[in-house]
Homo-oligomer: A and B are copies of this chain.
Amino acid sequence: MKARKPVQDRGIQTRTAILDAAKALFAEKGYHGTNSKEIAAKAGVATGTFYSYFDEKKPVFFEVIRGYYREISDAVLADGALEIYSLPIRTKSDFRRLVHELIRALYKAHTISPELHREITAMIYGDPEVEQLIREEENKTITLVGALLAKVSDRLAVEDIGAAVEVVVHSAEEVIHRLRMFEHDIADERVLNELEDMMYRYLFVKG
């Protein structure tokens, strides 16, 4: 049976309920640790209902992934980054602020669900479709940051902007994710400061 596309309000609510339940369970117990019956139960619907909204478990995960990246992206942009992006950047301290704000925004955005984040990145392999999907989402970030750097390219200390974006984005993502995800002795603030220093010097200080 093909998955239903709900048009009525009730149907849309059910679909959302399933996605929310799935999101929570994936975050808590992982994709493999969660089964469709549980998702249905948590969503307050029958197993069969689950399958009338989704063909399989996987597409549910896809949607959750998409939703997650949308949330992160919205959060970063909403959090002043967009504003910065549109303001003129001239002075040295403007650059510093740019880096600072972006890192803080990303850090803030990662409150959303570090558990889900790890589950998503963990699943990047194992299924080519999942990889494809995640790469696409990541590329949006890469493109965004690339555009941002392009805007200030005359002041950049780096030459290979394409490669630089990769380095910068994945480094920042990883360091911040780990702060959110794990217990650690060093205060987050200290690590964020160092990360900021690293980014700033790399991008704007000629060595």
Contact = CB atoms under 8 A, between A and B. Distances in A.
Interface residues of A, number: 51
Given A33-B126, A167-B171, A204-B207, 10 more contacts: A166-B175, A166-B178, A167-B195, A168-B198, A170-B171, A171-B171, A174-B174, A197-B207, A201-B207, A202-B202
Contacts of A166: 175, 178, 184, 186, 191, 194
A205 interface: yes
State the oligomeric state as a number of copies: 4
A186 B168 CA distance: 14
B198 A163 contact: no
Most interface-central of A118, A182, A197 (chain B CB within 10 A): A197
Contacts of A162: 186, 190
